[in-house]
Amino acid sequence: MTGLAVHPEGRLVDRALQYLSSGPADSSVLTHQVLGIPMATPFVAERLVAALLGADPRVGRLGDGRWMLVAPATASPALSDSAFAVVDVETTGGMAGRGDRITEIAIVVVCGEQVELLYESLVNPGRPIPRAVTQVTNITDEMVRDRPAFAEIADEVLAVLAGRIFVAHNMSFDWRFVSSELRLVHGVGLEGPKLCTIKLARRFLPGLKSRSLDSLAYYFGMEIERRHRAGPDALATGHILQRLLRLAQESGASTLNDLWELSRRRARRRRRRRARPESMGEL
């Protein structure tokens, strides 16, 4: 898989994937062995299994209609041909899946020399925005009161993300919130390749003391208007990603796999440096 997709989550899906790991199976067999319905007609079995697995990118079908696991893609796309979806979300707090919700989302696509804001929307979180959060983002309850809930824009968000590499500054934060919202709406989880511009900056700009969005923007000579709003922050991150990709290419990375390998080397070196004083202390 070289781009984002969604897949259903749940024990039945896991059981189906486990069963298919031993080989292809038709809908009637899966209905019996996975769903525990031995007497389903072929028509009913087909409908049940299609509802369970039909949208799952990890599963495909043979010419005879049997379901099978899809082998993951092995070829790594060139960096110059890769499309990145740079995401920024503003939220009611930091606890994704524990009550906090998205109040604004923006998605910028980076591909080669292109940096384009493809999606931006305020979102009604269905709960009050804490005053401390409003002081940072300037997003108020009044601004989101008549805006769509995430459920109303989920399909648009997925359409922009599909097939692209998920990127964000402090990526795990944005990934958790988008994934949490998608689970609430569709019962699906986000799956696919992702990158964090903080981690890339650690690898390719090791001399910087800070890798905050403000620090990186200053380093690259950029100005972020309306800081802590999703659109401007996503655009800034997109331009920063573009600069970091150029540095990666100068370091010898030509494909996504090259980029991830270079990033992993940096992470391994950091772990070794943290472990070295402890090891020396034991001597």
Task: Please report, for the domain that includes residue 207, its CATH number.
Answer: 3.30.420.10
pLDDT at 211: 95
pTM: 0.73
Average pLDDT per consecutive 10 residues, the chain (283 residues; last block may be shorter): 60 87 93 88 87 79 86 74 94 94 97 92 97 97 97 89 90 95 83 90 93 96 94 97 95 89 65 49 33
pLDDT at 272: 55
Which residue range is the domain that position 36 belongs to? 8-69
49/28 same-domain check: yes
pLDDT at 283: 28
169 labelled catalytic: no
61/94 same-domain check: no
pLDDT at 279: 40
Give the HSE-up count for residue 143: Cα atoms under 13 Å, Cβ half-sphere.
Answer: 12
pLDDT at 278: 43
59/174 same-domain check: no
pLDDT at 266: 56
pLDDT at 265: 66
Residue 274 maps to a domain:
no
pLDDT at 234: 98
pLDDT at 281: 36
Query: The tokens of 199 are what?
Result: 């981690």
In the set 7, 32, 186, 228, the catalytic residue is: 228
Q: How far is the C-alpha of 167 from the C-alpha of 213, rounded, in Å?
A: 13
> One-letter amino acid identity for 209?
K
